[in-house]
Amino acid sequence: MQELIDRVAAAAGIDATTAEQAIGMILAFLRKEGPTDQVDKLLGAIPGASDLATAHAAGGGGGLLGMFSGGLMGLAGQLSGLGLGMGEMQSVGRELFNVAREQAGEDTVGEIAGSIPGLGQFT
């Protein structure tokens, strides 16, 4: 997990603590919104990912946007609550999905991205 956190932090130009929180929020979002079998495969392929998703399942942050919006907009609100701008969110997502492809395979990531409207722009 630390390698993933370090890669995401470097790609997005953010600190490791923020990267860890962002990854956890994204993984929790995928667990909630994505196809169960494929998300479970992804979480199982990345050591520590399932625990991190569970730790961030309650969400939090995001202000009004996070409270009243679901789906990808709700996630964006949560990530914004960490102080991330859109460019940083895209960098975090892209690097996370790069690692996911390496660990779980292109087909798994493709099925997850294809099942959640708007997610493709971050993969």
Our CA angle for 39, 98, 20, nearest 5°, is: 75
What distance lies between CA 65 and its chain's CA centroid?
18
Full residue range of the structural domain in which residue 7 is found: 2-122
What span, in angstroms and rounded, lies between the C-alpha atoms of 60 and 7?
A: 24
Q: What is the pLDDT of residues 11-51, one digit of tens each?
A: 999 999 999 999 999 999 999 999 999 999 999 999 999 99
57-67 burial, b for 16+ CB within 10 Å, e for fewer? eebebbeeebe
What span, in angstroms and rounded, lies between the C-alpha atoms of 8 and 64?
A: 27
Question: Which residue, 29, 106, 18, 37, is CA-closest to 74?
Answer: 29
Model confidence pTM above 0.85: yes
Q: Residue 40 is part of a domain; what is its CATH number?
A: 1.10.490
Least confident piece of the model among 17-31, 91-105, 108-122: 108-122
Domain count, the chain: 1
